[in-house]
């Protein structure tokens, strides 16, 4: 029995790794080399080089990575005077060794905050946390990371500022102040604002006002990241195109930073990616446990192709496309907003095998328009 398991494990592992070693499989980073960086969010196992198949694929396919969780505040600063840089240092070493750009994620976000910080009531403590966290963490990785998501998800759907602990304690100049502190601590890394649904008109207008406010304060902001958590059958193509042109007009880079195209319904049927919005599911909300029907695969594959054709049209403005995960089995969308579902949002399947969506993306680069 043990022998059987070991054999099966070895077999599945070598099959997985062989996809990354198969030279007939095109490489996203090579195919889009002249256009934009191609990234993936990576988890702790890949960073620690414990997931050999994922690492092989990352090295073959991507020239940018974003840590999915390990640079978030709850992990990197668990206590007032306690910082945990271990995994972030490993990430930087892994990236340097393999010539991959790190987009560090994220300095100021209302979610995944350490417990000591979430409980804070007084303004002085929040201010001290805010200054210390940005200064210490950004300085430590200055120039070692290519870029920072300095502020993540500061906006509501109507374009006003989210009522976070930072807004409550520090007032509405806190986003400008975050960028000012990051600029001082990290002069050699690029500084970005990142959010979901900012392709939608009202939220986009809020993001544009925020970026202009940073710029008119004389503070550096290098780019904006549109997360891109969309439904495969409902990608807002027109709004995305308008956003690329409007954000580019501000003189900054535009990136798609957390791209995944879900094939499952969410309970609210919108494109929110608010991690605290969760729901209970039933089997009708989880229809593809034993495989994805060809018809759905087709829809996703076409949507990915349409998106990349649009990105290529604006290749002078769009600087990076990052997928939120490496393979379908590792995607956060198997557990959000409903736990324990089987989703298929990325370009590689659960065995790291390229899906039709992968070839549809590759085809956009070879069809003469780049
Ligand atoms: C998600 C991670 O993928 C999950 O593993 C974690 O449990 C919650 O956060 N927007 C963001 C990301 O900016 O940091 C979130 O990542 C997904 C939504």
pLDDT at 13 over 70: no
pLDDT band at 17 (very low <50, low <70, confident <90, very high): low
Which are the contacts of 335, defined by CB distance < 8 A and separation ≥ 6? Answer: 341
Q: What is the mean pLDDT of residues 101-108?
A: 98
Task: Determine the Cα–Cα distance for residues 100 and 38; give it in Å rounded to an integer.
Answer: 10
Task: Determine the Cα–Cα distance for residues 251 and 211; give it in Å rounded to an integer.
Answer: 10
**Closest atom, ligand 1, to C-alpha of 331:** 3
Q: What is the mean pLDDT of residues 205-232?
A: 98
pLDDT at 276: 80
Q: Any idea what DSSP says for residue 218? A: T
Question: How large a percentage of the chain has pLDDT more than 90?
Answer: 86
Name residues contacting ligand 1 (CB within 6 A).
Answer: 68-69, 152, 227, 258, 273, 275, 332
Q: Which three-class secondary structure state does DSSP give residue 71?
A: coil
pTM over 0.75? The answer is yes
Q: Which long-range contacts (CB under 8 A, 24 or more apart) does 329-334 make?
A: 330/43, 330/54, 331/260, 332/68, 333/229, 333/260, 333/262, 333/264
Q: How far is CA 358 from CA 61, 155, 300, 303, 352, in A?
A: 11, 32, 10, 11, 11
Told to judge if 239 belongs to the known catalytic residues of this protein, a careful annotator would answer no
Q: What is the mean pLDDT of residues 295-310?
A: 98
Told to judge if 177 belongs to the known catalytic residues of this protein, a careful annotator would answer no
Average model confidence (pLDDT) for the chain? 94
**Closest atom, ligand 1, to C-alpha of 149:** 13
**Closest atom, ligand 1, to C-alpha of 109:** 13
Supply 61's token pair.
């396919």
pLDDT by residue (tens digit) across 260-285?
Answer: 999 999 887 666 778 888 888 788 89
- Cβ distance 8 to 2 under 8 Å? no
**Closest atom, ligand 1, to C-alpha of 152:** 13
- My answer on whether omega of the bond before 33 falls inside 30° of 0, hence cis, is no
CA of 68 to the centre of ligand 1 (A): 6
CA of 281 to the centre of ligand 1 (A): 20
Catalytic residue among 153, 177, 199, 297: 153
Catalytic residue among 177, 199, 253, 258: 258
DSSP count for the chain of H helices, then E strands: 14, 9
pLDDT band at 5 (very low <50, low <70, confident <90, very high): very low
Residue of 197, 224, 330, 336 to mutate, ligand 1, most atoms within 8 A of C-beta: 336
Top pLDDT among 369 and 271 is at 271
- Cβ distance 54 to 80 under 8 Å? no
């Amino acid at each position: 029995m043990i022998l059987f398991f070991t054999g099966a494990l070895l077999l599945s592992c070598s099959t997985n790794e062989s996809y990354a070693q198969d030279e007939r499989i095109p490489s996203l980073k090579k195919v889009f080399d002249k256009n934009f960086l191609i990234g993936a969010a990576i988890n702790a196992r890949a960073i620690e080089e414990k997931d050999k198949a994922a690492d092989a694929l990352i090295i073959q396919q991507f020239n940018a990575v974003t840590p999915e969780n390990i640079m978030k505040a709850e992990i990197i600063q668990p206590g007032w005077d306690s910082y945990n840089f271990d995994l972030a240092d490993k990430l930087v070493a892994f990236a340097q060794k393999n010539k991959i750009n790190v987009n560090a994620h994220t300095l100021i976000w209302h979610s995944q905050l350490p417990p000591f910080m979430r409980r804070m009531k007084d303004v002085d403590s929040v201010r001290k946390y805010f200054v210390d966290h940005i200064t210490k963490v950004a300085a430590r990785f200055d120039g070692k990371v290519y870029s920072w998501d300095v502020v993540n998800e500061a906006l509501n759907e109507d374009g006003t500022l989210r009522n976070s602990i930072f807004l409550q304690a520090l007032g509405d100049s806190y986003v400008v102040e975050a960028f000012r502190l990051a600029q001082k601590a990290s002069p050699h890394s690029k500084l970005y604002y990142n959010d979901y649904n900012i392709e939608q008109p009202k939220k986009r207008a809020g993001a544009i006002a925020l970026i202009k406010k940073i710029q008119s304060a004389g503070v550096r902001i290098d780019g904006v990241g549109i997360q891109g958590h969309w439904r495969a059958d409902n990608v807002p193509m027109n709004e995305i195109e308008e956003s690329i042109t409007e954000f580019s007009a501000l003189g900054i880079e535009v990136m798609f930073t957390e791209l995944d195209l879900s094939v499952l319904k969410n309970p609210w049927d919108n494109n929110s990616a608010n991690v605290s919005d969760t729901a209970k599911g039933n089997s009708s909300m989880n229809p593809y446990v034993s495989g994805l029907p060809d018809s759905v695969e087709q829809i996703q594959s076409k949507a990915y192709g349409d998106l990349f054709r649009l990105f290529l049209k604006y290749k002078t403005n769009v600087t990076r496309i990052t997928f939120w995960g490496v393979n379908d089995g590792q995607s956060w969308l198997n557990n959000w907003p409903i736990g324990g579902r089987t989703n298929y949002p990325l370009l590689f399947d659960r065995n790291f095998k390229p899906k039709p969506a992968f070839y549809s993306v590759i085809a956009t680069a070879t069809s003469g328009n780049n």
